[in-house]
């Protein structure tokens, strides 16, 4: 069975089970999965009692209701939540027509598939597209909107994977460009050593300056993490230390840390995850909520990767 459609048994059972329901309703001929369908699947795989399986299914459908309510105000087609709860929240229904499957709710479906897909370097690429790099581009466009939108004094730059050409990054030139945009930091630090990982743990930077072009504006430094072990890196990005290591002079004000993941973060763990990150936390629903500025190019690549990833896992679109 494809990992996309397996019943997860990890530490985030509520959100994993909700993802399972969404993906299975996408592939069902009638587009629907019931609470009882999920309970039976949990019972088969998890070796738990019928009562416990129903409790877990109830929690997953409460999570689905929360997702639907969170995104209910969105009207742009590629941002819509592509599912509907029916029959007193007992059934999740995939709503788009077949001809609309790669357009309606595209942003949500891309993030859902990235969450469930293996992020192993040998398995994750489809249609020549690396979803980790694509996710960084996706996040940069979302974060730019959240920071105030693309106008003369707002901007964003990708420092991580998707900024590299031919697999290589000229890190000093990236820092020079960033400092020039920020009007702060003085550029690449003399005699500094480029990080072995290529980006020093910083994936994105975003800013909002003033017309006087003096330093001291609103700056954000973000990490983008895919895969199941994203919690391991919570709190590892330290903006002040990063600037001290690679910029000629410290930024006048420390950047605001941001942490971005394609999964839906469990509500019961939200407070602890945010505290551990010491950052603004963006999960799947928050990313979709601020996705109106996602570019046509990013959407096109998301659709291509998504369609090929599903077909390569033996499921037609």
Q: 126-149 pLDDT, tens per residue? A: 999 999 999 999 999 999 999 998
Q: Is 143 left (phi over 0), alpha (psi -120 to 50) or beta?
A: alpha
Query: Residue 199 pLDDT more than 90?
Result: no
User: 97 and 44 share a domain?
Assistant: yes
What average pLDDT does the segment 221-229 reach?
94
Report helix, strand or coil for 271.
helix
114 and 137 together in one domain:
no
- Is position 40 within any domain? yes
Same domain, residue pair 172 and 262: yes
Any domain includes 317: no
CB atoms near residue 143 (< 10 Å): 23
- Do 157 and 284 fall within a single domain? yes
Statement to judge: residues 86 and 138 lie in one domain: no
pLDDT at 11: 64
The mean per-residue pLDDT over the stretch 26-44 comes to: 92
Residue range 59-72: mean pLDDT, rounded: 97
Give yes or no for a contact between 223 and 190, defined as CB atoms under 8 angstroms apart. Answer: no
State yes or no: pLDDT of 158 exceeds 60: yes
141 and 263 in a single domain? The answer is yes
Residue 247 belongs to a domain: yes
- The Cα–Cα gap between 161 and 136 comes to 8
Residue 166: pLDDT over 70: no
The predicted model gives 248-273 an average pLDDT of: 96
Q: Does residue 150 belong to any structural domain of this protein?
A: yes
Of the spans 8-17, 21-30, 41-50, 98-107, which averages the highest pLDDT?
21-30
What token pair was written down for 122? 């040998």
Same domain, 148 and 263: yes
Residue scoring higher pLDDT (282 or 13): 282
Same domain? 86 vs 176: no
286 in the same domain as 145:
yes
Domain residues for 45? 13-124+303-312
The answer to whether position 4 is within a domain reads no
pLDDT mean across residues, the chain: 90
Phi first, then psi: give them for residue 84, nearest 5 degrees: -140, 135
Determine the pLDDT at residue 315. Answer: 56
DSSP code string of 113-135: HHHHS---TTTS-BTTB-HHHHH
12: pLDDT strictly greater than 70 = yes
Q: What is the CA radius of gyration of the chain?
A: 21
User: Does residue 85 register a pLDDT over 70?
Assistant: yes
73-82, 100-109, 294-303: least confidently modelled range: 100-109
Give the number of other Cβ atoms within 10 Å of residue 150's Cβ. Answer: 12
| Closest C-alpha among 33, 54, 35, 53 to residue 45 | 53
Between residues 138 and 45, the one the model is more confident about: 138
**What is the pLDDT, as a whole number, of residue 311?**
82
For residues 172-186, give the mean pLDDT.
94
> What is the number of domains present in the chain?
2
Whether residues 142 and 226 share a domain: the answer is: yes
Do residues 109 and 220 share a domain?
Answer: no
Residue 3 lies in a domain: no
pLDDT of residue 161: 63
The mean per-residue pLDDT over the stretch 191-215 comes to 87
Cα 138 from chain centroid (whole Å): 8
Q: Of 219, 209, 200, whose CA–CA distance to 257 is shortest?
A: 219
Two tokens at 265? 């973060």
Same domain, 141 and 114: no
Mean pLDDT of 7-34: 87
Report the percent of the chain where pLDDT is more than 70.
91
Residue 8 forms part of a structural domain: no
Is residue 5 one of the residues assigned to a domain? no
Sign of CA dihedral 75, 79, 83, 87: negative
Above 70 in pLDDT, residue 1?
Answer: no
Averaged pLDDT for residues 11-19: 90
What pLDDT is recorded for position 168? Answer: 56
């Amino acid at each position: 069975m494809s990992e996309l459609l397996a019943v997860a048994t990890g530490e985030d059972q509520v959100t994993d089970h909700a993802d399972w329901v969404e993906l299975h309703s996408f592939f069902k001929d009638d587009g629907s999965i019931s609470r009882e369908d999920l309970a039976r699947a949990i019972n088969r795989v998890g070796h738990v009692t019928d009562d416990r399986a129903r409790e877990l299914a109830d929690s997953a459908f409460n999570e689905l209701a929360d997702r639907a309510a969170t995104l209910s105000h969105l009207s742009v087609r590629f941002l819509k939540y592509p599912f509907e709860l029916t029959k007193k929240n007992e059934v999740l229904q995939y709503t788009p027509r077949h001809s609309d499957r790669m357009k309606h709710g595209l942003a949500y479906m891309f993030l859902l598939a990235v969450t469930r897909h293996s992020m192993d370097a040998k398995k994750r690429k489809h249609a020549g597209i690396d979803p980790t790099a694509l996710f960084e581009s996706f996040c940069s466009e979302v974060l730019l909107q959240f920071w105030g939108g693309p106008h003369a004094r707002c901007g964003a730059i990708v420092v991580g994977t998707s900024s590299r050409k031919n697999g290589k990054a000229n890190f000093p030139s990236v820092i020079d460009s960033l400092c020039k945009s920020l009007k702060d930091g003085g550029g690449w630090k003399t005699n500094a050593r480029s990080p072995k990982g290529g980006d020093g743990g910083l994936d994105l930077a975003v800013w909002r300056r003033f017309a006087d072009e003096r330093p001291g504006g609103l700056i954000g430094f973000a990490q983008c993490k895919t895969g199941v072990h994203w919690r391991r890196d919570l709190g590892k990005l330290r903006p002040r230390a990063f600037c001290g290591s690679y910029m000629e002079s410290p930024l006048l004000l420390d950047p605001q840390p941001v942490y971005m993941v394609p999964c839906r973060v469990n509500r019961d763990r939200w407070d602890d995850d945010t505290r551990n990150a010491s950052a603004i936390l963006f999960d799947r629903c928050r990313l979709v909520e601020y996705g109106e500025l996602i570019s046509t190019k990013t959407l096109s690549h998301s659709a291509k990767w998504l369609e090929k990833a599903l077909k390569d896992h033996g499921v037609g679109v």
